Amino acid sequence: MLISPIAYLDPLRCSQVCLLASLFHDALNEFTYAAEVAGLGYALQSTKYGLQVMLHLLVFLFKIIFNAYSCQFICKAESQGLQR
């Protein structure tokens, strides 16, 4: 669980955390579709404490997703001339 004291501070922050969870889910659809068809999956929910991540039978899928997105962010930053 990712805990943040400002996640449920006011309606704006609550909406932002919920939107972040929705955007994260949309961004990962392409990577997780095959795994969900195979019976594996994950859930990312916004709560009053922050974000809750639940993995269903797939620690290795989380590693693949993390590596794919970390590489994507690094490559994007390098292509824009930003340094790590």
Compare 25 and 38 and report the one with higher pLDDT.
Answer: 25
pTM as predicted = 0.60
pLDDT in tens, 29-74: 888 888 788 777 788 888 888 888 887 765 666 677 777 766 655 5
Nearest to 84 by CA among 69, 68, 75: 75
Here the tokens at position 13 are: 């922050």
If residue 13 lies in a helix (H) or strand (E), which one and from where to where? helix 11-37
Whether residue 17 contacts residue 46, with contact meaning beta carbons closer than 8 Å, is answered with yes
Residue 81 has pLDDT above 60, yes or no: no
Task: Indicate the length of the chain as a whole number.
Answer: 84
